[in-house]
Amino acid sequence: MKKLEGRATICLLLVLAMLAGLVFFVVRLELHGDEWAVKSYNSHIFSNGQLICGKLTDRDGRTLLQFTPNGPAYLGTEYERRAVATLTGDVNYGSPTGANVVFRSRLAGYNRITGTEGFFGRKGGTVVLSIDSDFNQTAYSAMGNRNGLVCVYNYKTGEIMTLVSTPTVDPSNKDAMQTAPEGAYINKVTSATFTPGSIFKVVTAAAAIENLGDLSGRTFTCTGSVNIGGNNVTCPKAHGEVDFAGALASSCNCYFGQLAVDIGAEKMQEYADRLGLTGSYDINGIETAKGSFNFATDDVALAWSGIGQGEDMVNPISMMVFMGAIANDGKAQIPTLIKGEECGTVDLLDEATAQRLKALMINNVEQNYGAENFPNLTIGAKSGSAETVQGAATNAWFSGFAGDYAFIVMLENAGAGATAAGPVANTVLQQIVNGGK
Amino acid sequence: MGEFLQKVKEIFLSLDIGTDVISMTLRPIFVVLGLYILVRCIVSLVRSKNPPEVWAYLKVTTYTQDESGNMVPVKEISEPLTHWENVIGRGRTCDVSVNDSALSRNQGLLIRDEEGTWTYRDLGSMNGTWLTEAPGKESYKTFRTQGNGDRNAYLDYLKEMEVRDSGGREDEPVLISKGKGVEGPAVELEYGDTLRSGHTEFTLLPISLEEKKNNLEMRLDDTRLMSQGPSMAALTLFQILTFLQLWMVKGDEYSMPLMTAFGGLFIIEWIYVLAVRISKRRGLEMEVMAFFLCTLSLAVIASKDPGDLVKQTIAIGIGVVAMFILCLFLSDLDRSKQIRIFLIVVAAGLLVVNLVFSTYTNGAKNWLSIGGISFQPSELVKVVFVWVGAGTLDELFRKKNLYLYLAFSLFCLAALALMGDFGTALIFFVTYLVISFLRSGEISQLLLLVGAAGAGGFIILKFRPYIATRFATWTHVWEPDFINNGGYQQTRTLTASASGGLLGTGAGSGWLSREFAADTDTVFGMLIEEWGLIIACFAVLSIVTLAFFAVRSITSGRSAFYTIAACGAMSMFVFQTMLNIFGCTDILPFTGVTFPFISNGGTSMIVSWALLAFLKSADTRLHASLAVRGGSGK
């Protein structure tokens, strides 16, 4: 009989296998329950393929979207709805980054304890966005008819205060899909990449500060063109004699092209990676688009890449986080769309480098963009005019920081960065930073 | 009655407490009650030690040769025989293990039968075994063996068996083995008889009356069975609340069936408790677990097919009666052994009749209808399969028994394959693996079988494309190609599971119940959705608890027959549960087998209870089980 005792372990193995499987299932349920629950056939929370419960509000508690058994209601006037359309998503679920898709399980009220039933029988969850719908309307209105993007976030808390990506559709229009303009369903802030133009010079400047020793004595006389590796890199006009700070303030291509060549392709790639431009941020479940670069070609191409042209492609939100890090001694919060929810911190720069860049960017405004254009703001910024299509007007970029906020603005084919995008940034920042509602 | 219920319900609902509030209040109570029931069973399992029963003593004397060549005893110990079946030998896993190099690893078997008669059988040992009759006890001097009453007849028998005899002198040792590799005859022993093999002597000694009393007291002291009264009370409360919950949410037309079902279950379980009480038995843990699962069964059926409620309650009743009868039957080892041949014939006949007369239902041909009652013969054969697989140690050492079991298993598997019931075939196969390993202990044989089955599986996949589809779907259920096709049942199960959370949406308030086979194939999903993850886990843990009862019984098992049967039945429960819960949650390929005691299905329910009898028959705790006769009394 003793022989059987030993053999009975095989039975215990079977039991162990079942227990292990049960644990595996419970773990999977905990990890994926939110995805599993939010399926359109789940009639606890769906009817005719639409959620029947859940509410989306802005940071002040104003309801933007309410799901009811009769279908979703996108609230406000058409103008108000369009201003937040990129965030709410639309009735046709056209955008994969809309809250009605990304936050579906939160809107459904799924939680691990009560499943989709909600506590005390209250189905549905309330998702409080970090954005203020007033700010969004201000930004949307300041952009006018121009396509592009505006995003401002608090680099200390991570909260995105406003996010607009245009063109938009009316979220409640069921027939919008047929007539929607190109790009209406893309969140250009999180999910697209663009040629950055001169705002990328801040990246080159960061690499230069840390790799080329003392730059204070480095001066250059800009004649409007410089020969690098047999080809010309040109400036829109001759800047005359410029030092490092002056070259950044006047956005001298010749100076920064040469700087990039001196830094070298390898280092440039290293900095693009280190500053988070080629990686992806996880913003409450939205994986942001990754930027891409190609520095390792010939010198002149490297020079153009160093000034944000060439094959450079940058995701706006990664650039905005970089701006936040400059303003905050090298560290910044990863942006979040949910009020009070942290997505983590990144450490992008040495404190000294950050402080030097911060001073340089404040200097940009004082020397070039004009502090009087940004009244009552301690603002540091860099403009960019990115050439994308030959002959077309450039994309206007304006990115930087003011107060506790970092911002990025881009208007497609709107011309020069500082003159086209600068005022939009100012309008939005006046309201956010100075509370000029 | 129906009208009365209707009135009460109207008054109840007019109180306007809100069904939501009641349902929400009940859910944590269910969890607490379930936990209480489960924990009490586990505590009882852990606490009552089940100390071994002592059936006789074996005085083991080891000799060595001194300088002048005489044999002198060097060591003498008294080994208690704690089983009915004991292996003697040099091997460490022998029940009486002696460090004597002249002994074979498995020298011989010492077996006690139901009446208390001991026999010895040499297992083809290298150096043979000699028997010396008890000295000076004339009354014992008569060998009795297999019906032959006197010594001369026995000596004739030995001659016939080609065993060398010492010449008939009564005080001389008699060789009772037939040489290396040849199994000796079973020789009946009397107390005081001495076996000699190698340099060791074994003398069989009875336990004195006083010792018997001491043992009994010790066992009484150690076997502290927890009273299952409070558990039964908690279970009854659980059932009343379940009835209330369902009665609230289901339509008025279901009031009567609900009342009948839960009332019926109440009557069945309390009559059973009474019957056990009258039989002076106190071990009820396993039955409490089973009744708990049956309650959940009625609850899911009330939600999915209220029309089946009465049928299922009747099945529970039949199942309990079947278990009760089986327990009484199994308490006699000889009877249980002898009926196996008859069972094989009946089972084979059933399967053949099934194959010839039944038609395909849902891809398998496993239903048989007689006189308007349909049932699944393959389910009933499960009981026979375990029964036939069980054997005493004596049988285990003989090859021909193994071949008989192998042949029967192959027949069953072939029949199930022809029916297209591959889920059940898999359960049979795994049970066969477990039982044959318990019988032989050969791991290589086990691996060989698994390999052969793997190859067989490939052939099945080739000829049964719908099974191949299930493999293709496996772990891909969320992909667009499968989500509404091959993975339909799994994705619905997972979504329903996620919806339920820890406490569920309340019995009768789920939607998975509207899907096909929700109370059989995907019943685990229904449990989580309506009852919550915690109760669903309790259901699985109930099966685990049953399994531990079975495994634990081995250490103090009387006969290998009972322990093998218990482990076989338990493996069936566990593996079937695994296929059910992991199939519908996409951890294993979907097979569509039932969850023991829970799934909707009369035959399945009856067979679950019948299999429980095997677990009961291995529960040797003092005064615990119906299926075990009183302690070492005789």
Map out the domains of chain A with their CATH numbers.
Answer: 190-433 (3.40.710.10)
- Residue carrying structure tokens 């229904």: B526
Percent of chain B whose pLDDT exceeds 70 = 90
**Model pLDDT for residues B33-83, shown as the tens digit of each residue:** 999 999 999 888 887 777 778 888 999 988 887 787 777 888 888 888 988
Q: What pLDDT is recorded for position B223?
A: 67
> d(Cα B424, Cα A373) in Å, to the nearest integer?
80
Q: Is A25 on the interface with B (CB under 8 A)?
A: yes
CB-nearest partner of A10 from B437, B496, B543: B437
**Do the Cβ atoms of B87 and A3 come within 8 Å?**
yes
Q: What is the pLDDT of residue B168?
A: 44
What local confidence, expressed as pLDDT, does residue B220 receive? 72
The pLDDT, as a whole number, for residue A20 is: 97
Q: Are A14 and B492 an interchain contact pair (Cβ–Cβ within 8 Å)?
A: no
- Beta carbons of B336 and B561 less than 8 angstroms apart: yes
What are the tens digits of pLDDT across the range B87-112?
A: 999 888 888 998 888 888 889 999 98
Cα angle B151-B156-B159, degrees, rounded to a multiple of 5: 130
How far, in whole angstroms, is CA B262 from its chain's centroid? 27
Instruction: Extract the tokens encoding B502.
Output: 């820890």
pLDDT of residue B630: 65
The three-class DSSP label of residue A409 is strand
- CB atoms B560 and A4 under 8 Å: yes
pTM above 0.90, yes or no: no
Report pLDDT digits (tens) over B595-620. Answer: 999 999 999 999 999 999 999 998 88
Domains of chain B from N-terminus onward: 6-49+217-617 (no CATH), 56-206 (2.60.200.20)
Report the share of chain A in percent with pLDDT over 70: 99
Asked whether the beta carbons of B397 and B183 are under 8 A apart, the reply is yes
> CB distance from A26 to chain B under 8 Å?
yes
Mutation for A interface: B81, B392, B427, B499, most A CBs within 10 A: B499
pLDDT for B163 equals 46
Task: Write out pLDDT tens, residues B182-234.
Answer: 888 888 888 888 888 888 889 898 887 777 777 777 777 766 677 788 999 99
CB-CB neighbors (< 8 A) of A49 in chain B: none
Rounded to a whole number of angstroms, the distance from the CA of A19 to the nearest CA of chain B is: 8
Q: With CB atoms and an 8 Å threshold, state whether B578 touches A26.
A: no
B142: left (phi over 0), alpha (psi -120 to 50) or beta: beta
User: In this predicted structure, which of A413-422, B2-11, B429-438 has the lowest mean pLDDT?
Assistant: B2-11
Q: State whether B94 and A2 contact (CB < 8 Å).
A: yes
Cβ burial B431-441 (10 Å sphere, 16+ → b, else e)? bbbbbbbbbbb
DSSP-derived secondary structure for A173-188 = -TTHHHHPPTTTT--H
Which chain B positions have a beta carbon within 8 Å of A116's beta carbon?
Answer: 498-499, 501
**Do B553 and B620 form a contact (C-beta atoms < 8 A)?**
yes
Q: Give A46's contacts in chain B (Cβ within 8 Å).
A: none
> What's the pLDDT score for residue B183?
83
Distance CA B51, CA B620 (A): 9
Q: Which residue has the tokens 């009220």?
A: A109
How many CB atoms are located within 10 Å of the residue B36 CB?
17
**Greater model confidence, B621 or A276:** A276
Q: Which residue of B has its CA nearest to A18?
A: B578
B127: closest CA among B146, B110, B108? B108
pLDDT of residue B159: 56
A428-437 burial by CB neighbour count: b if 16+ within 10 A, else e?
bbbbbbeeee
Is residue B542 classed as helix, strand or coil in its secondary structure? helix
* Section A249-269 average pLDDT: 91
Q: How many CB pairs under 8 A join A and B?
A: 142
Residue A21, chain B, CB below 8 Å: the answer is: yes
Band of pLDDT at residue A300, cut at 50, 70 and 90: confident
pLDDT, residue A359, reads 93
pLDDT at B156 over 70: no
Q: Across all residues in chain B, what is the average pLDDT?
A: 85
pLDDT for position B216: 76
Q: What is the mean pLDDT of residues A223-251?
A: 88
A240 touching chain B per CB within 8 A? no
**Taking all residues of chain A, what is their mean pLDDT, rounded to a whole number?**
91
